[in-house]
Amino acid sequence: MKVQYLTNEVAVAFFQKLRSLFRGGAGTDDAHVLIFYVRCNRCGEVIRVRADRRWDLLQELGDGAAGYSLHKDVLGTQCNALMRMLVLFDRTYRITHQEIEGGRFVSQAEYETHRSTDRASLR
């Protein structure tokens, strides 16, 4: 039995790829990223939720209306209230329906405002 050893180039490439997976390098392609902003009904915390079209969406088949669905559980840092998010998409990834239990969807502007007031209160 002949033992083969990895060359330095192959080993370095392997570890760089492995490192990028843990650092988020493999999922940072903005073309596949979906961002949602939600506000917790209990504590009012506004949370940025990131989803990747390649990994987080489920393909929905049947009734002639093919599309995708996103099921996401969201937990903030200020309380232990779990929010359950459901977003439905058509086959071109346009949102056709969205709902959330325990919270509500908000705009990016509201998220930025909430974030800036949180930073100001920490000072």
The predicted-structure confidence for 30-65, as pLDDT tens digits, reads as follows 889 999 999 999 999 999 999 999 999 999 887 767
Q: For 73-112, write each residue's pLDDT tens digit.
A: 999 999 999 999 999 999 899 999 999 999 999 999 999 9
* Banded pLDDT at 17 (limits 50, 70, 90): confident
Residue 29: what pLDDT? 65
Give ∠ CA 73-27-100 in degrees, rounded to 5: 20
| pTM, two decimal places | 0.70
Residue 27: what pLDDT? 46
DSSP state of 27: G
Which residues are CB-neighbours of 35 under 8 A, at least 6 positions away?
Answer: 48, 49, 50, 51, 108
* Banded pLDDT at 26 (limits 50, 70, 90): very low
Q: Which residue has the higher pLDDT, 60 or 9?
A: 60
Q: Are 30 and 63 in contact (CB under 8 A)?
A: no
